Amino acid sequence: MHTLTRRGGLAALMVLVLATFGLATAPSAGAADFIVPIKWNVNASTHLKNLNLDVTVPQGTFTGTVDVTTGALQGTLSLPPATQTISFLGIPLATATFAMTPTGPITGHVDLKNKTASVDSSFNFNITSATLSLLPHLNLVGDHCHGSTPISVSMSGPVNLTGASTFSSTYTIPPLTGCGFVTPILNLVVPSSGNTFTATFAPPT
């Protein structure tokens, strides 16, 4: 799925990217900006508080650039949809697919001296499919089930310059809309603050 800013989310991946290039000395004043392209693998998960549900997101990517001269970061985070089975007392009851899609480019700033970064991002939270175990071919939420407002995620922290780095953040899921007759039911259990998004970023091996 920060969300996942935060599924996604969410924002954490920039932190790693930027600090990695903090190993280099920033160009002197007046020099042309030194732009470095970046592509990282992202392994993420999210915990949906009200459902007490942990969702593991398939591996995604962050593609963007870092301006080593100014520390500015910009790029696109791509996380595949995540499908999770919802069980009660060990009995599978339903299956839901969650997706977090950026509303625009992710932006941030890296402190080259201290090897830290901060990132701001905004995502749309979608439930693309929800089926009961007894009716696996009936999508209860239709094709337009989504949060009524985007999810905002802000993250900051240090980066491991020699390997993978892991970051976490909390985010709020807004009330849902467009989910058909199950919209009121979902709004009793899904929207909440205090959901967590955790992501590990690393260069491709």
Domain residue spans of the chain = 12-202
Could you tell me which of 103, 79, 92 has the C-alpha nearest to residue 13? Answer: 79
Angle at 13 between CA 61 and CA 175, to 5 degrees: 90
Instruction: Please tell me the predicted confidence (pLDDT) of residue 135.
Output: 82
Q: Which residues of 62-74 are buried (b: 16+ CB within 10 A; e: fewer)?
A: bebebbbbebbbe
Instruction: Please tell me the predicted confidence (pLDDT) of residue 69.
Output: 87
Q: What is the pLDDT of residues 161-198, one digit of tens each?
A: 566 777 788 999 999 999 999 999 999 989 999 999 88
Cβ atoms 167, 117 nearer than 8 A: no
Instruction: Please tell me the predicted confidence (pLDDT) of residue 164.
Output: 76
Architecture of domain 12-202: Beta Barrel (2.40)
Lookup: tokens for 138: 């009936």
Calpha distance 28→30 (Å, rounded): 6
Look up residue 132 and give its amino acid: L
Q: How many CA atoms lie within 13 A of 140 on its CB side?
A: 17
